[in-house]
Amino acid sequence: MSAAAPLRDPPPLHGVPLREHVGLLLDSRRRGYALPGAFFRDEALFAADLELIFGRHWLFVASEPELPEGGDYRTYDIGPYPIFLLRRDDGSIVAFHNTCRHRGTRILQQPAGVVGANLVCPYHRWVYDEAGRLIGCGASELSAPMMGLRLKPVHVKRLAGLIFVCLATDPPEDFDAMAAQMEPYLAPHAVPRTRVAKQIDLIEQANWKLTIENNRECFHCAGHPELSRSLFDFFGEIHEESLSAEERAAYQCFQTARQDAMAGWQRAGLPWQLIEKLHGRPTGFRTDRLVLNGAGESMTLDTRSASSRLLGKFTDARLGSLHFHVQPNAWFHFLADHVVTFATLPLAAGRTLVRTTWLVDAEAQEGRDYDLDNLTRIWVETNRQDATLVEEAQRGVASPAYEPGPLVASEFMVGMFHSWYEERLRAALDL
């Protein structure tokens, strides 16, 4: 695989090599400030993002219920790399580069589907087994140069029902340490025993970094009236003395709800302590169990459970929302009654795919146990609002008049994302 190899043929940048070009861009960023406009538009930096960020880090691509049966596959484009995930008949999940070892055609050409015992390239009908080995080539026998050919594998890791892939030859080794910390938080939500209630792809006309930055702060959450029904608007360090009388009353209400919720989490044996490792390591991640407002049950308009069948062995619906974020491309909300996963993949410097998936208990039936509109409403609306926010940001940062402004305290995670991004590019380019 070439993903971890040095960048090939750096694009000519008026004679400046890519390494130097990226170094100059990183040097131009001011800590504690928004990123310079080039970070969202520059084609050479975008190529570096694909190769060095998306090509070398663990990416969340699907959850296990998206491939429920042996033979199920799903295809993805990670920048220029078409890949596919395949559930084998023994239940294991493998990933391969979706590029035939003959003349390169994509072997699996639909977004998702089912294969038989073997994979057959539709071009000249070369046949591969579930382990990716070439076992046939149409009418003729395998010739000597064909012997031993196999599809190039892609690394796969599973974490409590979430599937991550890494294109690098040597993936970051810190995934297992993250998994060990996260498993006790995630496993009780029993993702392998859920099914997909809905999946929606949204394409944002914005750079992927704007999508992630936007996700890392709720400074803009006044623009989310539906989401705001279930979320308390208190993030990071709160200085009570700086709050208005009205805000202080709301803060006290939040504190009381949080004390109650923590007692409930304790009783249920659910971990809730914040883990914040968003930079200083290749696999940046963060988790936090948030108390919810109102009835405190779920992220719905009435803040009550969307599904009457709770996940796993839960008996209490008021478990708050366990937030989990993994850099560079995913975030999750784990509730008592459903899970929402979000995966982003860059399509171009100014285009980003955001895939949202709602998971409910495998036995839950639409109409009987949940109403699909009620289940999905908050994030359908919130995603639409966020798409507009980041698209307007993309337009604004394209202006020659744009100058990065200072981040505020509640945007601390945006700052951490910037630190991680800079660290990863400097490490990859030895800058």
Q: Using CB under 5 A as the criterion, which residues of the chain lie in contact with Fe ion when the complex forms?
A: 386
Q: From CA 23, how far away is CA 151, in angstroms rounded?
A: 36
Q: From CA 360, how far away is CA 232, in angstroms rounded?
A: 24
Question: Distances from the Cα of 415 to the Cαs of 32, 35, 82, 258, 419, in angstroms?
Answer: 6, 10, 32, 26, 6
102 binds ligand FES (CB under 6 A): yes
**What residue 133 binds from ligand FES, Fe ion, none (CB within 5 to 8 A, per partner kind)?**
none
Q: From CA 104, how far away is CA 31, in angstroms rounded?
A: 44
**What residue 103 binds from ligand FES, Fe ion, none (CB within 5 to 8 A, per partner kind)?**
ligand FES
User: Which residues have C-beta within 8 Å of that of residue 323, sequence separation ≥ 6?
Assistant: 286, 287, 288, 289, 290, 331, 332, 333, 334
Select the span of 54-62, 120-128, 286-294, 377-385 touching ligand FES (CB under 6 A): 120-128
**What residue 121 binds from Fe ion, ligand FES, none (CB within 5 to 8 A, per partner kind)?**
ligand FES
CB atoms closer than 10 angstroms to residue 372: 14
Select the span of 32-40, 102-110, 255-263, 372-380 touching ligand FES (CB under 6 A): 102-110
67 vs 151, beta carbon nearer ligand FES: 151
124 binds ligand FES (CB under 6 A): yes
96 binds ligand FES (CB under 6 A): no
121 binds ligand FES (CB under 6 A): yes
**What residue 105 binds from Fe ion, ligand FES, none (CB within 5 to 8 A, per partner kind)?**
ligand FES
103 binds ligand FES (CB under 6 A): yes
Please give the angle made by the CA atoms of 59, 11 and 26, to the nearest 5 degrees: 60
Instruction: Select from 105, 228, 293, 385 the one that contacts ligand FES (CB under 6 A).
Output: 105
Q: Do residues 210 and 389 lie in contact, with contact meaning Cβ atoms separated by under 8 Å?
A: no
The least CB distance from residue 140 to ligand FES, in Å, is 12
**What residue 386 binds from ligand FES, Fe ion, none (CB within 5 to 8 A, per partner kind)?**
Fe ion
12 vs 122, beta carbon nearer ligand FES: 122
CB atoms closer than 10 angstroms to residue 280: 10
The least CB distance from residue 128 to ligand FES, in Å, is 10
HEC readout, 118-180:
CEECCCCCEEECCCCEEEEECCECCCHHHCCCECCEEEEEEECCEEEEECCCCCCCCHHHHHH
Which positions lie near ligand FES, rule CB under 6 A?
Answer: 100, 102-105, 121, 123-124, 126
